[in-house]
Amino acid sequence: MMSRATPLSPDERRASLITVTRELIREHGHDVTTKQVADAAGVAEGTVFRVFPTRRDLIAATVADELSSTRLDDLLAAVAPTDTLDDTTETCIRTVADYASVAAQLFKRPGCPADLNRDPHDIVSLWRERLAQLHAWIDARLTPFDDDLLPTRSEFTHVVFTLGMGLAHNLHSPTQPNPALLTRIALDGARRKETPC
């Protein structure tokens, strides 16, 4: 006789369905069905509809969860510490690119915000808040290296952020530069040079 799994609390069930939906969107795009979500979560399709009245509500909740400050805080807290300007710059470029490319998968389809049953400005606002959060994180990571930089830390933070976003938008290009190359390019132009006596 097969035993039933321990039931999840409503919050746990919601989180579980969002996690499954996120992975399915990454694999299959926004055309994922509630049946696919239910199958992947190991629940009946009716369970999905008890938590999310419509498929659009499920997709909207998944996108909003991906763009939550808590999710980004957790991701940034897991980034290993770095000791050098080179390692810090490369880590920041890679982190921005990874986050932006994963988030972009949830927005890939044209017109996506209108399909989310949310005000598109809410999604845009969440995205802008996360970009500002990333920018502040880079700035904090670069603080110990103020004396090593020719531009101001604020200017270099913007350069690093821009390189990370550019990398995210070209991750599948055959001529894609890697974060180490972008770091060398950024630092060769930004590192303060010793002046000969």
β-bridge partners, 191: 149
Higher pLDDT, 123 or 119: 123
Looking at the structure, do residues 24 and 37 belong to the same domain, yes or no?
Answer: yes
Whole-number pLDDT of residue 113:
46
Taking the chain, what is the end-to-end CA distance rounded to the nearest angstrom? 85
Please indicate, yes or no, if residue 195 is contained in any of the structural domains.
no
- The single residue listed with the structure tokens 């598109």 is 120
What percent of the chain is predicted at pLDDT more than 70? 84
Taking only the tens place, the pLDDT of each residue in 7-38 is 889 999 999 999 999 999 988 887 899 999 99
Verdict on whether the full-model pTM lies above 0.95:
no
Domain count along the chain: 2
The set of residues, in sequence order, having a beta carbon less than 8 Å from that of 110 and lying 6+ positions away, is: none
Please indicate, yes or no, if residue 179 is contained in any of the structural domains.
yes
Closest CA to 12 of 54, 47, 59: 47
Q: Residue 83 and residue 63: Cα distance in Å, rounded?
A: 34
User: Above 90 in pLDDT, residue 130?
Assistant: yes
Q: Which domain holds residue 121?
A: 67-190
Read off the pLDDT of each residue in 159-180 and give the average, rounded to a whole number: 84
For residue 22, the domain's CATH number is 1.10.10.60
